[in-house]
Amino acid sequence: MQACPECGDQVQIGQSARLNEIVDCAGCRSELEIVALDPVVLALAPEVEEDWGE
Ligand SMILES: [Zn+2]
């Protein structure tokens, strides 16, 4: 379990978690990227803005 950097909620990290995997925080719905393993470090994933206009 890791603390969400956004809201501090506990986020479950699976044993098979991989670097750069995106996990969702159940507390704030943020997308968190695993930026380091052993120990696991979570960072807010950059928001991908869908740009449909052109
Ligand atoms: Zn959160």
pLDDT in tens, the chain (54 residues): 899 999 999 999 988 999 999 999 999 999 999 999 989 999 999 877 778 887
By the CB criterion, residues less than 5 angstroms from ion ligand 1 are: 4, 6-7, 9, 25, 27-28, 30
- Ligand 1 centroid–CA 53 distance in Å is 30
DSSP code, position 49: -
Q: State residue 53's pLDDT score.
A: 80
DSSP code, position 50: -
- Ligand 1 centroid–CA 24 distance in Å is 8
Domain range list for the chain:
2-44
Q: State residue 46's pLDDT score.
A: 80
Instruction: Spell 3-18 as b/e; 16+ CB within 10 A means b.
Output: ebebeeeebebeeeee
The CATH fold of domain 2-44: Rubrerythrin, domain 2 (2.20.28)
* pTM as predicted: 0.79
| Burial classification of residue 34, based on how many CB atoms lie within 10 Å of its CB (0-12 exposed, 13-18 middle, 19 or more buried) | buried
Q: State residue 28's pLDDT score.
A: 95
- Ligand 1 centroid–CA 32 distance in Å is 8
